[in-house]
Structure 1
Amino acid sequence: MADRGPSIMVAKQGHPLLRDRAAGLSPAAAQRLDEATTALSRNELSAAEASLLSVLDQAPDCVEARRLQGLVKQLRGDHAQAVAILRQALALSPDHALIHMNLGISLHAGGEPDAALASLQRACKLATDFAPAWFNLGRVLSMQGRPAGAVTALHRVLDIDPDHIEARIMLAEAQARLGALEPASANYREVLRRQPGHADAWIGLTHLPAVRFDKDDVAWLQQALQLSQTPQARVSLGFALSRALEDQADYRGAFRALYKANSQKRRLVGWNAAVARAKVSTMLDVFATPLSGAPDAALGEQVIFLVSLPQSGADATAQILAARPQVGAVDVLPDLQQVVGAESRRRGQPFAQWARAATAADWARLGQDYLARTAQAREGKPRFVDANPLNWRLAGAALAMLPGARVVNSRGDALETSFACYRQLFDSGNEFSYDLDHIASYWRDYDRLCRHWQRLFPQRFLDHVHESSQADPEARVRRLLAFCGFEYDPACLAIHCPQPIARSAPYGSELNRLRMLLGAA
């Protein structure tokens, strides 16, 4: 889901919360408050701030001026100051729903998710018919990985304001995450009925596996691409057009649209394949031989790291592991990278410069730090899965600080994985995926480093090859479970994903360059 960020401003001025906000002010102060509101609408933050200071000089207890002051701080990115000012405003008016809403937004941006939800829920309780409060509650619930709660809140938005397009898009995204694909598709289609060129709705439909586009969709997309669009919208529409043409079996046209959309996206992101390659080479040098890691060989035995490239079948592996009763959470966790980053900042050196100088005690300390950060993920179970795919870069560090951990590399076919990345418009990250040369370079970096980890840690690093597991699923699942210390359960075969679709085959010669780059021609 694209991270649009919570809604700061509110759109419709007819609600009672948005009227008579200058009540009790002198004409001069009311004029300055109006000037501040106008400046905010134009994103002229300095002018707004000056006008608000003038209002507060004349009326120190003006709740609306305090609220807007907090809003200015929030828009500047000063979340702590925004929270402090909004709490001052609440002290003057404890049951002001709009202030509770703004406070919830600031708390979320400042990294206080529980307090943010409490404030937003309070805003919704105080103003049950105020769509922006429900919208921001739904947005924050979505961002916190709570799609069921988000669906409830966003339905409430649409009950109040059926024309709220962004809420309908967000609702469809949340429904898709819950597996409610038909309602998600219906909501995307409703957006397109109202706004036929809406790029987020088109790209959202491409993420629903059961959706099939028809010739009318192709015509609408081609027409939308003839209109003035933002660069990102043009990219989204291009990816959607490629998918629609693919559904018409026009693979040549689909590849042309895909190539154009990827080229446009590449200009919007920064990726340097040479820098990425150098980082992998440095990691190979640092871990040319095993480091003297934490002395306790059992430290971290509760951790299974699941690493992969995008679009490589890792979801199937995660489902098998998640089904084991010993496993708590299976989640994409940032903690390994955060532990290494924090130690680099403490030492004032990049990882490559301090890794070989670190003592066994240092690695043990870092391992304990990681376990403390991830304690909640265990959910009272003996094991948990850290499914951050990017941890393939840091597997050596992970096993130095946690010698008892296991790393499962969910490896897909080189061509299918690479082309699947090229077909996918990612919400964020994966900047390598918008150029065939970059994809091939990234695959080679991943391949050589993961093969090195397997040679260095043969008992702790497993290649779980997705396509091979389809040829002999029982043997591969047995091997995976045994590696992780689990007994075999035949039920795991029912969980195992069906044969992956070979997306590359119909494209024939269009992918010859990618085959050549991967050495698979």
Structure 2
Amino acid sequence: MTPALASSDSDPERLHGLGDAALLFLRQGNRSFDAGDFAAAERCFAQARREAPVHAEPLRLHALALHQLGRAAEAVALLQQAARQRPDDALIQNALGGALGQTGQGEAALAALRRACELDPGLSPAWANLGNALAMAGRTAESEAPLRRALELAPQLESARLLLAEALMMLGRIDESAAQYRELLQQHPHSGQAWWGLANLKSVRLDADDVGRLQALVRRRDLPDAEQLTARFALAKALDDTARHAEAFHAYVDANALARRGFRWDAAGFARWMEHLRATFERSAFVPADVQFGAEAIFVVGLPRSASTLTEQILAAHPQVEGASELGDLGAVIREESRRRARAFPDWVADAGAADWRRLGERYLERTARWRERRPRFTDKAPANWMLTAAIRRMLPGARIVDCRRDPLETCWSCFRQIFWREHEYSYDLGDLAAYWHVYDAAMRHWSAAHPQHVREQVYEALLADPEQQTRELLDFCGLPFDEACLRFHEAERSVRTASAAQVRQPLNRDTARTARYGALLDPLRRALAR
């Protein structure tokens, strides 16, 4: 999201009615907000609210700081209060749309952002936020127009150009996406995010000139952490593209070390939790009343970078299947139930009966209904849903689960070369990656053996060796008739919201293995995976 404007010093109307004390705290808060010290800004804006409890502007500014601190639900409550006082205020509606989006209220967020654009057609951040919200909702084609409108109003608006470049990538317009990233680098040569966006177009190669510019960029000491991180990953990709593999390896190690700051993934704790989850489900018997319930859904799971996007693209080329890409609805339904029961998942599983699981399945299908408006079946390609295989079997006993597998060394190394902005903390350390893979492998082999009619291993290397036979078997597993269009998956017109968006627009490429180029440098990962 493009940040809403915080400062209101230049707009006396917004400050009308505030006393001197409230104004002082607002100005102090604005300075802290502009400096990126959101905790200090929040304290100042909270004090301003105490001085003027019902004034809309302290409410708006306090909400902006809360949003930046990850407290979006609190921000929504304040902004709704502010909107009741000033229903025709574009800045409030823009901020409300951003906060609603963060709390998962997508349709309400779109309504607020559209309202902001209507109220002030010249407010470029609102147009950018509307475009982003549409893209996040899977409506990528619709997002292009508001993003271009934002750039017409503010050609230097970095966030809008980043969003437009990403949207074009998702739509398969790779050359246009690359051009937008290059334009952004002309305007903002120190934008690590633009460099990473360009590098993340997997079919675009960076050259020796790019290497030099990136090496100079990462030496800068004034780059914010996010820009330094993205620039380092882009440099590693550029070194790889120019066949400087030893340098690329060490650049990836440095980039991942920076990404890993601030958190530690607990491999042993994760293994214990997965064993607890498996045992909890095994202890509670379950017989579904309707074994076909949920057959509309096809879950595509596995580790990232294991050809899950390719598998979904093959399925989405079928005339009966809508490719929904990475949906968060399954996890959201589980979290809703955990909040309702005031118990963490999977601790409440033993107390859930057939009616509960049916209710949860119905809730999931309700949340995903729009993906069945044009076609009767749909894919949910969130790789980490492999952890919820047992829950899927109870919620949606008719659903199919496709477990995407690729050579584990290639998979883990590919993950190490990727920035995952959330959820994949294990991916920034080769030892953690190997540990995660072992837990995944054991769990999915267990569930595949327990549910052979509903869980299929889709092996990438087998697909490369015999595309037609593997595609026929995949479609048969999903209960779909064979269709030649699935062999021409790269021609399917749809939004692909993953790092593989450029690759799946091309025919199958058998030359995708990369680890051999790194030789003995990857021996520690090889040994960890072989244990």
Task: Give the TM-score band, short-chain normalised.
Answer: 0.7 to 0.9
- Name 1:336's counterpart in structure 2: 330
Cα shift at 1:445:
1.0
Render the CA deviation track for 1:346-386: whole Å, top value 9, x for unaligned: 44544444434544444334333433333333226432222
Distance 1:124 1:338 in 2: 29
Whole-angstrom CA distance in 2 between matches of 1:450 and 1:38:
54
User: Deviation of residue 206 (structure 1)?
Assistant: 1.0
Tell me how far apart the structure 2 counterparts of residues 280 and 100 of structure 1 sit (CA, whole Å): 42
The corresponding residue for 2:493 is none
Task: Give, as a single letter, the amino acid of the residue that structure 2 aligns with 1:83.
Answer: L
SS at match of 1:408: strand
* Aligned equivalents of 2:281, 2:22: Cα separation in 1: 63
Report if aligned partners of 2:404, 2:457 keep a CA contact under 8 Å in 1: yes
Q: Does residue 1:227 correspond to 2:228, yes or no? A: no
Kindly state the Cα deviation for residue 55 of structure 1 after the two structures are TM-superposed. Answer: 6.1
CA distance in 2, matches of 1:278, 1:54: 50
2:109 aligns with one of 116, 122, 140: 116
Aligned to 2:132: 139
Q: How does 1:74-89 map to 2 (within 5 A)?
A: 74-76=64-66, 77=71, 78-89=74-85
AA aligned opposite 1:476:
Q
Residue 287 of structure 2 corresponds to: 293
1:494-516 CA-to-partner distances (Å, cap 9, x unmatched) read: 22751351121211222122122
User: Deviations 1:251-288 (Å, cap 9, x if unpaired)?
Assistant: 11111111121122222333111111112222343455
Change in Cα spacing, 1:182 to 1:112, as seen in structure 2 (3 Å) is: same
Match for residue 388 of structure 1? Answer: 382
Deviation at residue 126 of structure 1 after TM alignment: 3.7
1:34 CA displacement: 6.3
Alignment-derived partner of residue 487 in structure 1: 481
- Determine the C-alpha separation between the residues in 1 that align with 2:179 and 2:5: 28
Counterpart position of 2:13: 21
Note if 1:266 corresponds to 2:277. Answer: no
Matches for 1:108-507 after TM superposition, within 5 Å? 108-109=101-102, 111-228=104-221, 229-288=223-282, 291-356=285-350, 358-379=352-373, 381-495=375-489, 497-500=507-510, 501-507=512-518
Distance in 2 between the 1:349 and 1:134 partners? 40
Q: What corresponds to 2:503 in structure 1?
A: none
2:29 is aligned with 1:39: yes
Distance 1:309 1:420 in 2: 10
Letter matched to residue 508 of structure 1? G
Report the equivalent of 2:522: 511
State the match for 2:502 in structure 1: none
Residues of 2 paired with 1:299 and 1:123: CA distance?
41
Code of the residue aligned with 2:327 in structure 1: it is L
1:20 deviates by 4.0
Contact 1:328 1:378 in 2 (8 A): yes
Alpha-carbon contact 2:409-2:529 (below 8 Å) kept? yes
Identical counterparts, % of pairs: 37
Q: Distance in 1 between matches of 2:7 and 2:375?
A: 46
CA distance in 2, matches of 1:388, 1:158: 32
The CA distance in 1 between the partners of 2:480 and 2:448, in whole Å, is 20
Deviations 1:209-241 (A, max 9, x none): 232222222122111222113344332222111
Is the Cα contact below 8 Å between 1:173 and 1:184 reproduced in 2?
yes
Q: Distance in 1 between matches of 2:513 and 2:473?
A: 25
One-letter amino acid matched to 1:153? P
Distance 2:135 2:377 in 1: 27
Contact (CA 8 Å) 2:240, 2:248: kept in 1 or not? Answer: yes
Q: Distance in 1 between matches of 2:173 and 2:122?
A: 26
Letter aligned with residue 144 of structure 1? A
Checking the alignment, whether the CA contact within 8 Å between 1:6 and 1:140 is kept in structure 2 is no
CA distance in 2, matches of 1:50, 1:444: 51
Label 1:366 to 1:163 Cα distance change in 2 as closer, same or farther (>3 A). Answer: closer
1: CA distance, partners of 2:15 / 2:57 = 15
Identify which of structures 1 and 2 has the higher relative contact order when contacts are C-alpha pairs closer than 8 Å and 6+ apart: 2
Specify the SS of the correspondent of 1:462.
strand
Counterpart-to-counterpart distance in 2, 1:202 and 1:381? 37
TM-superposed deviation, 1:86? 2.3
For 2:375 and 2:233, the matched residues in 1 are separated by 42
User: Aligned to 2:177, what secondary structure does the other structure show?
Assistant: helix
Q: Are 2:401 and 2:456, in contact at CA under 8 Å, matched by a contact in 1?
A: yes
Which amino acid letter does the alignment assign opposite residue 519 of structure 1?
A
1:149, CA displacement in angstroms? 3.6
Q: CA deviation at 1:456?
A: 0.5
Q: May I ask how many residue pairs the two structures share in their alignment? A: 500
Distance in 2 separating the partners of 1:461 and 1:88: 50
The range that moved more, 250-259 or 498-507, is 498-507
Q: Give a deviation string over 1:430-468, Cα, whole Å, max 9, x none.
A: 111111111111111111111111111111111111110
Is 1:304–1:385's contact at 8 Å kept on the other side of the alignment? yes
1:394 to partner: Cα distance:
1.6
Partner residue of 2:4 out of 3, 8, 19? 8
2:206 and 2:398 map into 1 onto residues whose CA distance is 49
Q: 1:9 to 1:24 in 2, by over 3 A?
A: closer
Code of the residue aligned with 2:144 in structure 1: it is V
CA distance in 2, matches of 1:8, 1:222: 33
Given the superposition, is the C-alpha separation of residues 281 and 39 from structure 1 closer, same or farther in structure 2, using an over 3 Å criterion? closer
Could you say which residue in structure 2 is the equivalent of 1:70? 60
Q: How far off is 1:318 after superposition?
A: 0.7
Counterpart-to-counterpart distance in 2, 1:110 and 1:367: 21
- The 8 Å contact of residues 56 and 86 in structure 2, kept in 1 or not, is answered as no
Amino acid at match of 1:498: L
The alpha-carbon distance between structure 1 residues 346 and 286, as it changes in their structure 2 partners (threshold 3 A), is same
Q: By how many angstroms is 1:483 displaced?
A: 0.8
Change in CA separation of 1:493 and 1:342 when aligned onto 2, cut-off 3 Å:
same
- Give secondary structure in 1 for the equivalent of 2:388: helix
Alignment TM-score, normalising by the size of structure 2:
0.85
Secondary structure of the residue aligned to 1:312 is coil
Matched residue type, 1:504: T
Structure ID, larger Rg: 1
For normalisation by structure 1, the TM-score amounts to 0.86
Following superposition, the deviation at residue 33 of structure 1 comes to: 3.6
Question: How far does the alpha carbon of each residue in 1:292-344 deviate from its partner, in whole angstroms, 9 at most, with x for none?
Answer: 23232222222222111100101111112212222245343333333334444
CA RMSD of aligned residues (A): 2.9
Counterparts in 2 of 1:347 and 1:232: CA distance versus 1, 3 Å: same
* Secondary structure, counterpart of 1:418 in structure 2: helix
Q: Can you list the C-alpha shifts for 1:478-497, whole angstroms capped at 9, x where unaligned?
A: 11111111111233222275
SS for the counterpart of 1:485 is coil
2:499 aligned residue: none
3-state SS of the aligned residue for 2:265?
Answer: coil
